[in-house]
Amino acid sequence: MADKKVIAVLGATGAQGGGLVRAILADPDGGFAVRAITRDPSSEKAQELAALGAEVVAADADDEASLEKAFSGCHGAFCVTFFWAHFSPETELAEAGNMALAAKAAGVAHVIWSTLEDTRRFIPLDDDRMPTLGGRYKVPHYDGKGEANHLFTDAGVPTTFLQTSFYWDNFIHFGMGPQRGDDGSLAITFPIGDGRIAGMASEDIGACAYGVFKAGAPLIGTTVSIAGEHLTGAQLAAAFSEALGEPVSFNAVTPDVYRSFGFPGADDLGNMFQFTTEFEAEYTGVRDIDGSRALNPALKSFAVWLAANKEQIPV
Ligand SMILES: NC(=O)c1ccc[n+]([C@@H]2O[C@H](COP(=O)([O-])OP(=O)(O)OC[C@H]3O[C@@H](n4cnc5c(N)ncnc54)[C@H](OP(=O)(O)O)[C@@H]3O)[C@@H](O)[C@H]2O)c1
């Protein structure tokens, strides 16, 4: 343990961070140890990580001093923010700033910042093809993360910018899976036309992050964009049909219709899908599947992920 490089992991009880914690623990000879950060070390999920062999410490992304303490003595830190807990890009910016300053103060040698594109680089606020949200965003849960990139650079933190992809887990937890229509048949609904979604198992984000820490110095200062597969709505529906043993169709709606669905974040996600579809080359195209597999040789295809998770899809 003493000669291992310790990686502090934010969001350790969640999807991305949890994947990284498990990837590190699954490779005991890999030279890395893990410090799982949680706001509540006594929670069931935190205790599960401790039972697997993780060091578990308390810190809060809103409290820079707690982060500096949690990062202290670590070689690396995995930094992620939690948009869907509060729907506020300003909170993400503040928390990312805390993470950057804490990493600098603690002398962390390699930070991974889990980020996404600032879509305003592609669609300025005065472009009315999609509504401006919150006064200064097109896709709030992307733009805040992309805007926060410079906080790590400005703080002089050695950072890899990890651009993640749509979680296939959203088909289980986010209400995006096949839904039954009035006629009883199943369909998935996305405003992507014939476009492809860059997606992956959330667990594989953490496993790719582990690959980034293992690769080390050559990836510092770079942007690494990851995905498991790039699939059209029709291809996703075909895979669901195969796995569920029942026809699932793809219901292509317009971004305007998707934004009007009214669930919390529908406007943000409608803008997101419009952005990823209209800028497919710049968004999906840069999410390198072979490169992701090089970082994480066990990278899952959608079919493999679906076969392992189909029982959890609420249909
Ligand atoms: N859904 C997608 O398709 C997708 C795709 C790409 C990127 N993302 C982004 O992924 C991010 C969320 O990551 P995730 O899905 O891995 O999160 P998650 O599964 O929701 O887990 C987040 C964990 O972080 C901890 N946490 C929450 N607030 C915290 C705070 N203030 N300080 C410290 N820890 C805190 C919580 O653990 P404790 O309760 O134990 O503290 C929680 O278990 C979002 O910003 C989202 O935009 C999502």
Closest ligand 1 atom, residue 166 Cα? 3
**Contact 264/276 with Cβ under 8 angstroms?**
no
The pTM for the full model equals 0.98
DSSP string of 187-240? EEEES-TT-EEEEE-HHHHHHHHHHHHHH-GGGTT-EEE--SEEEEHHHHHHHH
Q: How distant, in Å, are the alpha carbons of 80, 111, 150, 256 from that of 155?
A: 17, 12, 8, 39
Closest CA to 71 of 38, 105, 42: 105
Return the best residue to mutate from 16, 82, 143 for the ligand 1 pocket (most ligand atoms within 8 A of CB): 82
Closest ligand 1 atom, residue 82 Cα? 45
Ligand 1 centroid – CA 106 distance (Å):
23
Ligand 1 centroid – CA 16 distance (Å):
7
Using only C-alpha atoms, the chain has a radius of gyration, in whole angstroms, of: 19
Copy the structure tokens of residue 105: 């103060």
**Contact 34/52 with Cβ under 8 angstroms?**
no
Q: Whose CA is closest to atom 24 on ligand 1?
A: 11
Copy the structure tokens of residue 110: 């390699």
Q: What are phi and psi of 120, to 5 degrees?
A: -70, -15
Q: Whose CA is closest to atom 10 on ligand 1?
A: 82
Q: Is 276 helix (H, G, I), strand (E, B) or coil?
A: helix
Instruction: Determine the pLDDT at residue 307.
Output: 97
Ligand 1 centroid – CA 54 distance (Å):
18
Closest ligand 1 atom, residue 142 Cα? 47
Ligand 1 centroid – CA 101 distance (Å):
20
Q: Which residues, in sequence order, are CB contacts of 35 under 8 Å at separation 6+?
A: 6, 7, 8, 9, 54, 55, 56, 57, 70, 74
Instruction: Determine the pLDDT at residue 18.
Output: 98
Q: Longest C-alpha distance within the chain, in Å?
A: 62
Q: Whose CA is closest to atom 20 on ligand 1?
A: 14
Q: Compute CA 158 distance to the chain's CA centroid, rounded to the nearest angstrom.
A: 20
Q: Whose CA is closest to atom 12 on ligand 1?
A: 82
Per-residue pLDDT of the chain (315 residues; tens, 9 = 90+): 569 999 999 999 999 999 999 999 999 999 999 999 999 999 999 999 999 999 999 999 999 999 999 999 999 999 999 999 999 999 999 999 999 999 999 999 999 999 999 999 999 999 999 999 999 999 999 999 999 999 999 999 999 999 999 999 999 998 899 999 999 999 999 999 999 999 999 999 999 999 999 999 999 999 999 999 999 999 999 999 999 999 999 999 999 999 999 999 999 999 999 999 999 999 999 999 999 999 999 999 999 999 999 999 999
Instruction: Provide the residue type at 195 as one letter.
Output: G
Q: Who lines ligand 1 at CB under 6 A?
A: 10-11, 13-17, 38-40, 43, 46, 60-62, 80-85, 141, 164, 166-167, 170
Closest ligand 1 atom, residue 11 Cα? 24
Ligand 1 centroid – CA 165 distance (Å):
14
Q: Whose CA is closest to atom 28 on ligand 1?
A: 82
